[in-house]
Structure 1
Amino acid sequence: MDLQSDLPPLCVTCGVCCTDAFFRYSCVTPEESARIHSLGFPVEREDGREIFSHPCTRLCGASCTVYEQRPATCREFRCTTLSALEEGAIDRPEADRRVSLLRAAVQAVRQLLPKEEKIWALRARLYADPAAAPQTRLALLSMDILADRYFKLKGRRFFS
């Protein structure tokens, strides 16, 4: 019996890419625009394209409330942990361990945020002031190290 097949998809137990930790927004393709609007996404226009901001309003805890109907940009994204799991390079317990580490790091940063500030905005603020908040900078750096190791695709930059 394959116990891994009884588990929910890894993305449903993670949701880090849907938070404000690494992406400021996701793009909506013209072909899916009407459907995304009907699902209740707060779509905006920026630089001639439709986007929805992060954290995604359809994220509840670590789960996407519209997972089966999620936008193409979400459906197509594969972090390095998900890719390694799909390729058989790691097993589900290792994938879950990585997700737990990264989610804990994101939460550690979030606890240091001023109310309502987004992690991507914090990052911009800290880079603009090298002397700012050493404890916060350290938490952000720790999160980024884990993201580089377990999440970020090689050659891809964060903050869409």
Structure 2
Amino acid sequence: MLFHIVKLQPGDSAQALAALGLKVKRKRKQDCILQPCSAHAECSCTIYQARPVRCRVFECKQLHRVAAGAITEAAAVGKISEAKILVGEINALLLRLGATNLRQPLSKRCESVLSEFPDPPSDVATAEARSQLAAAMHALEVLLDQHFRIEPSDSAAELRDRAGQ
């Protein structure tokens, strides 16, 4: 949900991760894991000990802010709940509009649904659902950018150092 792909780093084995069930693809001469991650289940990683470097070192803004004392853990949990509620609303709207492929990233499913219908849609219910979907997805992107996403580091050495390798 936070990202479309996770770029593999030196030390990550694309073959080993694929053997664990991750969807590893090559994009722009770089191995990456497509999202949503097939190892993510019930808010946990099912391959935690073998997860890629970027997954090991990623810390969202909420974690940074709690660690710095800028917000309480309860406030962070509230923001996480807010994001989960928005995702639930978006998924419900996507299902109403016929987007049932849960293996695609949420944003890609939204893009697909919003671009495939005629503009304006032929019926009022579809038009209303599309409008709600666009608004909810925008609200989610803003929430994620403001409260969760950080700029990814492209330095493999920095990532290895943070991962303790």
TM-score (norm 1): 0.71
C-alpha separation in 1, matches of 2:11 and 2:74: 37
Aligned 1:9-158 pairs, distance under 5 A: 21-33=1-13, 35-113=16-94, 114-116=99-101, 118-125=105-112, 126=114, 133-153=130-150
Contact 2:107 2:137 in 1 (8 A): no
C-alpha separation in 2, matches of 1:63 and 1:30: 24
CA deviation after TM superposition for structure 1 residue 82, in Å:
1.3
Percent identity of paired positions between Structure 1 and Structure 2: 26
Equivalent residue letter for 1:60: A
Higher relative contact order (CA 8 A, sep 6+): 1
- The alignment of Structure 1 onto Structure 2 pairs a total of residues equal to 135
Change (3 A) 1:35 1:85: farther
TM-score (norm 2): 0.69
Change (3 A) 1:144 1:127: farther
Structure 2: runs of 5 or more not aligned:
121-126, 153-165
Q: Secondary structure at 2:149's aligned position in 1?
A: coil
Q: Once superposed, what is the RMSD of the aligned Cα atoms?
A: 2.5
C-alpha separation in 2, matches of 1:152 and 1:84: 12
Q: Which has the larger radius of gyration?
A: 2
Equivalent residue letter for 2:140: M
List 4+ stretches of structure 1 deviating above 4 A: 127-132
Structure 1: runs of 5 or more not aligned:
1-20
